[in-house]
């Protein structure tokens, strides 16, 4: 009798699991003009991301040819008895599987038939498809001698992808993040509704989606603010051995954001050098290999140096003497290591596309498609010295396996109505540990070692009560997400229930568990 009950229980359990698993045949009943496929190669191509640390297979992949395709597949899930997860995937540059989903549908936003960027010269904006790469946006606007105001360091990312996070680079101190430079969007919500939103029209959805990690809707069109494009850039790097001098100068430079163009730099970033030996790495190849710079040659008071990276934009017709004078006047107010100044001039587009050139070099050496245990933190200004002592001069030791960015931003350039959370101080820093795990026999470069270091850094911040916020955040429990959002959590929850009540969208973020009981294997 007991044996029969066990068999019956097993059969019932199997029926439940199979019954609640998405049947791909049902998907083909949805009205789709694009390409919906369950081909194993297509599934495999979207089952990993740039991080190379997670693997999650969807049931199907949709390559839409219209917004209606996206709307119809989401609406089908929303209205069906069980439902299934839907995630938008751009360039797949997420780190911890945020753009993946299991037993659901991945919508490939990049490389499909779409409308080309539409530039409005009079109103100074460009309308672009959510899956458009920023490099293609730039090429389109440069034809009209215009360019977006705010960037990310890497241009081979999609518009919808960066706007779902924030989109930051060295221009953020002046123009704010990319999400502060959007006029309007078309969004497909978790109900399948196609909604046009802006600050004045459907503002709740507009602010929810910006920095919303894909939780409230899929961006299919964004209207991006433009400015006249410079033709050339004066690119300068100077070195510091004193962290306080380094941060003082960075904070001074970003305080000039409202000054006339001639009295400020256009871009302010920095990076930390903790490796022994040469300063060059894949992102800092600015320094000439013919004239290598070693930490020991600068007589630093330890194993750590800091590099300030700044630019001055100008035009082909600009007076070179005037540019020289403006740069010299600004540099005189800085306290970097004497004789450490390196300067170059290059076309504006070459500066913006600098990381891609480094990518091509790494790809040629087989060093790009490796695990990337990145950690990106917003650190309040009041605790950046403590972070330096505990992390840069403590936890990291003498190996980094990749660049470490550090630069400040002005809080007043961020709109608090968006879904992004940042430290509650007027100035805060991005600290981005962009490390690559290598299997070359060196223990300090392994994925396990770098992942352990990331955990140590987060533990150090928590125990030291440094109220950091993760950028490109990654948590595994809703409790952790609630702590991340803090006072914003009730707003985030309310927005989710309004725009994606069945929790269909972006389940790879692991913020909300879907309301349907599908076999979501990535949870």
d(CA 439, CA 84): 37
What secondary structure, in 3-state letters, does 492-520 show? HHHHHHHHCCCCCECHHHCCCCCCCCCCC
Category of 92 on φ-ψ map: left (φ > 0), alpha (ψ -120 to 50) or beta:
left
Of the candidates 222, 208, 215, 221, the residue with the CA atom closest to the CA atom of residue 86: 215
d(CA 124, CA 140): 13
d(CA 326, CA 339): 19
The residue from 57, 132, 136, 153 that is catalytic is 153
**β 86-89/105-108 pair status:** parallel
The answer to whether 208 and 216 are in contact (CB under 8 A) is yes
Instruction: For residue 183, give the H/E element and its range.
Output: strand 182-189
CA 515 from chain centre, in angstroms, equals: 28
The residue from 91, 93, 207, 257 that is catalytic is 93
Half-sphere exposure of 297 (CA within 13 A, CB side): 11
Burial of 196 (C-beta count, 10 Å sphere; 0-12/13-18/19+)? middle
* CB atoms inside a 10 Å sphere around CB 199: 13
Query: Which backbone phi and psi does 28 adopt, to 5 degrees?
Result: -75, -5
* CB atoms inside a 10 Å sphere around CB 298: 17
Q: What is the dihedral of CA 188, 193, 197, 203, to 10 degrees?
A: -110
153 an active-site residue? yes
CA 52 from chain centre, in angstroms, equals: 16
What b/e sequence results for 443-480 when a residue is b if at least 16 CB atoms lie within 10 Å of its CB, and e otherwise? Answer: eebbbebbbebbeebeebbeeeebbbbebbbbbeeeee
d(CA 431, CA 387): 10
For residue 412, what are the contacts with CB-CB under 8 A and spacing of at least 6?
426
The answer to whether 401 and 436 are in contact (CB under 8 A) is yes
CA angle 485-388-357, nearest 5°? 80
DSSP characters for 30-56? S--SSEEE--HHHHHHTS--TT-S---
By annotation, the residues acting in catalysis are 93, 153, 269
């Amino acid at each position: 009798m007991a044996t029969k009950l066990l068999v019956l229980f097993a059969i019932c359990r199997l029926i439940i699991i199979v019954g609640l698993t998405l049947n791909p045949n049902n998907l083909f009943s949805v009205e789709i003009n694009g390409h919906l496929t369950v081909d194993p190669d297509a599934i495999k191509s979207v089952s990993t991301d740039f991080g190379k640390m997670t693997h999650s297979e969807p049931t199907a992949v949709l390559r839409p040819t219209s917004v209606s395709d996206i709307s119809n597949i989401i609406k089908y899930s929303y209205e069906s008895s069980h439902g299934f997860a839907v995630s938008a995937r751009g360039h797949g540059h997420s780190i911890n599987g945020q753009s993946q989903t299991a037993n659901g549908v991945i919508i490939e936003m990049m490389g499909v038939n779409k409308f080309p960027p539409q530039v409005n010269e009079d109103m100074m904006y460009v309308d672009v498809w959510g899956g458009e790469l920023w490099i293609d946006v730039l090429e389109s606007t440069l034809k009209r001698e215009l360019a977006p105001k705010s960037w990310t360091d890497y241009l081979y990312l999609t518009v919808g992808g960066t706007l779902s996070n924030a989109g930051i680079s060295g221009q953020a101190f002046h123009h704010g993040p990319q999400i502060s430079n959007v006029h309007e969007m078309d969004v497909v919500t978790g109900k399948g509704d196609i909604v046009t939103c802006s600050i004045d029209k459907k503002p709740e959805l507009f602010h929810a989606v910006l920095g919303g990690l894909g939780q409230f809707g899929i961006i299919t069109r964004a209207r991006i603010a433009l400015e006249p494009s410079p033709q050339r850039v004066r690119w300068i790097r100077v070195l510091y051995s004193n962290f306080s001098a380094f941060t003082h100068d960075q904070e001074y430079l970003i305080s000039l954001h409202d000054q006339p163009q001639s009295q400020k730099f256009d871009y302010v970033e920095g990076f930390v050098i903790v490796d022994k030996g040469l300063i060059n790495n894949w992102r800092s190849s600015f320094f000439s290999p013919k004239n290598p710079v070693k930490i020991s040659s600068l007589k630093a008071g330890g194993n750590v140096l800091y590099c300030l990276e700044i630019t001055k934009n100008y035009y082909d017709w600009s007076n070179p003497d005037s540019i020289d004078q403006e740069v010299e006047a600004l540099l005189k107010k800085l306290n970097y290591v004497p004789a450490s100044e390196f300067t170059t001039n290059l076309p504006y587009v070459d500066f913006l596309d600098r990381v891609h050139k480094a990518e091509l070099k790494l790809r040629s050496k087989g060093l790009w498609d490796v695990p990337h245990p990145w950690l990106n933190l917003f650190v309040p200004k009041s605790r950046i010295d403590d972070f330096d002592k505990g992390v840069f001069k403590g936890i990291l030791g003498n190996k980094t396996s990749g660049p470490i960015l550090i630069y400040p931003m002005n809080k007043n350039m961020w709109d608090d109505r968006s879904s992004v959370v940042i430290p509650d101080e007027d100035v805060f820093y991005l600290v981005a540990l962009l490390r690559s795990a290598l299997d070359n026999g060196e223990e300090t470069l392994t994925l396990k070692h770098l992942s352990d270091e990331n955990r140590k850094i987060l533990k150090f911040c928590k125990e030291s009560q440094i109220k950091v916020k993760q950028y490109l955040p990654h948590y595994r429990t809703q409790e952790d997400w609630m702590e991340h959002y803090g006072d914003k959590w009730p707003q985030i929850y309310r927005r989710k229930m309004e725009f994606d009540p069945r929790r269909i969208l972006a389940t790879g973020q692991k913020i909300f568990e879907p309301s349907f009981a599908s076999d979501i294997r990535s949870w």
